[in-house]
Amino acid sequence: MTSPLSSAARSDLLARGYSRRSFGRIATLLAAGATVHALTKSAHAAILPSGINFEGMTRLGSNECWTGPFPEAAQAGASSVFQSNRYDPTGHMRDDLIKAASDVEGLPESHVMTWCGSSDPLARAIVTFCSPTRGLVTADPSYEAGWVAADWLKIPLARVPLSAKGGYRTDVRAMLAADPNAGVYYICSPNNPTGTLTPLRDIAWLVEHKPKGSVVLVDEAYIHFSEAPSAVELVAKNKDVVVLRTFSKMFAMAGMRLGLTFARSDLHEAMMRYDGKSATAMLPVPAMACGTMSLTMKSAIAARRQEMIAARNMTFQHLRKRGIHFIPSDANMFVIDWKKPAEPIKDAFLQQKVVIGRSWPVWPNASRITVGSMDEMKIFCTALDRIIA
């Protein structure tokens, strides 16, 4: 079977140390619409558990937003459905999205790229900047999509533990020491699952000390839930940084599929090498309409952040009262350490019609909890009191 990758893409991959045998795997990973989770049954099941009827359940398992898109933005998306017979009803919907992002972030439009969510550019950055000789370095626990991609493509992977001593912050110096010649240093800030931030000065240190030809990939899926400064500042200075953003969290558009990356145009062009143009150019019309408006809604973003913080604070207060150990978080998720295996506790919550998040292999006694609405978090606290008597 011939590879769906172009001959230029195949030559480039061979020159970078990939084998011919990896072409099929790379094409699968980057196929339009494919997410890395689909590659392994277990990862997919952990994220989207099958066989659960979500009817009547309190869903605190998948880091989705507890409510829908901002109503005005949702209205813009709904109206655009009627013109969705066209690929781009106005002829400049994608340009409008890029312009809105460039204005909000203070970046040139040349540094903004559009995607159907952020899973594709995450995988694509790993294919582009890693290889069998240039590895991937991440924290552990952290968002595992990169681990799945690295495993799939036989890319060396180094995972650097988050430790209590460092306040569960990503240790950038240990990351560089773990692989001084990596292709990608992935930093999720706030981190999934801990919600802990990596200070911008640490990210800047890594950017200054990392090896030539590598990038620091900063995943800011949850940045709007914190007030921390974005690594976009480093992109504006034309550093070797790619910032990932998704509309799946604060903007509550997980089911609409929209994402952005911010990077120097030569880095984006490198990511386009493996037939990436179609992944960036064709976007769902309602997602573009809803997302473009959402980006600019500063006060709605701040209000939603405050709503989440109030629900999180109430929950933390309850956990403190109960003497249950948790890691303080700057995002719409946090980790509870049950001090005993988490899996039976997760099942006990399911019996109470509450879906909580998964555990990471490195912390089998801990669960990730997504922050829902105030009412949902009260339901969570009541269920907890029944389970941990």
Would you say 253 or 383 has its CB closer to ligand PLP? 253
Contacting range for ligand PLP; rule: CB under 6 A; set: 11-19, 36-44, 113-121, 158-166: 113-121
Q: How far is the CB of 189 from ligand PLP (least distance, A)?
A: 9
* Distance from C-alpha of 275 to C-alpha of 10, rounded to nearest angstrom: 10
* Distance from C-alpha of 37 to C-alpha of 72, rounded to nearest angstrom: 32
Tell me the Cα Rg of the chain. Answer: 21
Structure tokens at 227: 């007030």
- Non-local (6+) Cβ contacts of 13 within 8 A are 5, 22, 23, 26, 274
Would you say 278 or 299 has its CB closer to ligand PLP? 278
Structure tokens at 106: 């203070």
Q: How far is the CB of 188 from ligand PLP (least distance, A)?
A: 5
CB contact burial 257-274 (16+ within 10 A = b; e otherwise): bbbbbbbbeebbebbbbb
Using rule CB under 6 A, residue 63 touches ligand PLP: yes
Would you say 117 or 141 has its CB closer to ligand PLP? 117
Using rule CB under 6 A, residue 221 touches ligand PLP: yes
Distances (CA, A) of 80 to 73, 273, 287, 389: 11, 32, 9, 51
Measured CA angle at 102 (ends 96, 107), to 5 deg: 155
Q: How far is the CB of 10 from ligand PLP (least distance, A)?
A: 27
* Distance from C-alpha of 156 to C-alpha of 389, rounded to nearest angstrom: 45
Q: How far is the CB of 180 from ligand PLP (least distance, A)?
A: 25
* Distance from C-alpha of 29 to C-alpha of 34, rounded to nearest angstrom: 7
Would you say 107 or 221 has its CB closer to ligand PLP? 221
* Distance from C-alpha of 274 to C-alpha of 76, rounded to nearest angstrom: 33
Residues numbered 307 to 336 that lie near ligand PLP (CB under 6 A) are: none
Contacting range for ligand PLP; rule: CB under 6 A; set: 101-109, 118-126, 296-304, 310-318: 118-126
Residues numbered 260 to 289 that lie near ligand PLP (CB under 6 A) are: none
Which of 131, 248, 261, 329 is the binder for ligand PLP (CB under 6 A)?
A: 248
Which of 9, 136, 137, 188 is the binder for ligand PLP (CB under 6 A)?
A: 188
Using rule CB under 6 A, residue 234 touches ligand PLP: no
Which of 230, 246, 294, 329 is the binder for ligand PLP (CB under 6 A)?
A: 246
Contacting range for ligand PLP; rule: CB under 6 A; set: 5-13, 24-32, 112-120, 288-296: 112-120
Distances (CA, A) of 78 to 6, 87, 91, 99, 156: 37, 16, 18, 21, 44
Which of 219, 240, 330, 376 is the binder for ligand PLP (CB under 6 A)?
A: 219
Would you say 23 or 129 has its CB closer to ligand PLP? 129
Q: What's the number of CA atoms in the CB half-sphere (13 Å) around residue 105? A: 31
CA dihedral 94, 331, 208, 103 (to 10 degrees): 30
Would you say 23 or 284 has its CB closer to ligand PLP? 284
The count of chain residues that interact with ligand PLP, using the rule CB under 6 A, is 14
Using rule CB under 6 A, residue 119 touches ligand PLP: yes
Q: How far is the CB of 212 from ligand PLP (least distance, A)?
A: 26
> 48: which DSSP letter?
S
Using rule CB under 6 A, residue 101 touches ligand PLP: no
Using rule CB under 6 A, residue 206 touches ligand PLP: no
Contact footprint for ligand PLP (CB under 6 A): 63, 117-119, 122, 143, 188, 192, 219, 221, 246, 248, 254, 259
